[in-house]
């Protein structure tokens, strides 16, 4: 899995006033959970853009006042109007403990149903998985070569090495839907 480095500084004062001052300085308040203690820190807003505004998922090498930990993005809050990042939460990860994270789905191949005039739809862009940090891939690759018109791939049909899929088994990941043009061509042939 890809890694990204972020540097922050510990917050001594926690509260509304201190948080407002941080945001005026274009910093974002954050919290690191999962370790021996909860760490409150501040990080520059521009550092977070590479982490937040991307379809990729990263393991974060977070350095807070010289202490380096590996973490994943747990939660993020945005301003309802300006869409600025208001708050960010990280969860510290360890090599021997499984992590629950959403990983993007990447479709591979060319579906038979698309060749016949159908339209391919990706129903779920990310799937929730559980696994050790060393086993987490950048993307979950799903082969769609065998999909015919009207066929779909459910989560239950997928399996990945050393990963447990946590989504509902009957939820659809990708499907080839019948278009009007394909329906009309089928009616003309019969």
SS3 content of the chain, % helix, strand, coil (to 5): 20, 45, 35
Q: What is the dihedral of CA 111, 116, 117, 122, to 10 degrees?
A: -20
The pLDDT score that the predictor gives to residue 184 is: 72
CA distance 139 to 32: 25
Q: Where in the chain is the domain with CATH 2.40.240.10?
A: 3-92
The pLDDT score that the predictor gives to residue 190 is: 62
The pLDDT score that the predictor gives to residue 29 is: 94
To the question of pTM greater than 0.85 for the whole model, the response is no
Average pLDDT of adjacent 10-residue blocks, the chain of 190 residues:
90 87 91 90 90 90 91 92 92 93 93 88 94 92 91 93 93 90 70
And the tokens for 38? 């909860």
If we measure between CA atoms, which residue out of 186, 111, 101, 102 comes closest to residue 153?
111
Matching CATH number, 3-92, of 3.30.70.20, 2.40.240.10, 3.40.50.720, 1.20.1250.20 = 2.40.240.10
The pLDDT score that the predictor gives to residue 186 is: 66
- How would you label 58-92 residue by residue, b for 16+ Cβ within 10 Å and e otherwise? bbbebebeeeebebbbbebeeeeeeeebeebebbb
CATH superfamily of 99-189: Ribosomal protein L25, C-terminal domain (2.170.120.20)
The pLDDT score that the predictor gives to residue 14 is: 86
């Amino acid at each position: 899995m890809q890694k990204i480095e972020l540097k922050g500084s510990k917050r001594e004062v926690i509260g509304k006033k201190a948080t407002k001052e941080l945001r005026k300085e274009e910093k974002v308040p954050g919290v690191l959970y999962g370790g021996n203690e909860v760490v409150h820190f501040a990080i520059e807003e521009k550092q977070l853009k590479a982490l937040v505004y991307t379809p990729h998922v990263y393991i974060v090498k977070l350095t807070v006042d010289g202490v380096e930990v590996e973490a994943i993005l747990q939660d993020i809050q945005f301003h309802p109007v300006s869409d600025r990042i208001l708050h960010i939460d990280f969860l510290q990860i360890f090599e021997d403990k499984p992590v629950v994270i959403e990983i993007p789905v990447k479709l591979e191949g060319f579906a038979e149903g698309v060749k016949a005039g159908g339209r391919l739809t990706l129903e779920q862009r990310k799937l929730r998985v559980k696994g050790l940090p060393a086993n987490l891939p950048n993307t979950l690759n799903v082969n769609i070569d065998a999909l015919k018109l009207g066929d779909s791939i459910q989560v239950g049909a997928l399996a990945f090495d050393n990963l447990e899929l946590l989504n509902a088994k009957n939820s659809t990941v990708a499907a080839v839907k019948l278009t009007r043009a394909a329906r009309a061509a089928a009616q003309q042939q019969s």
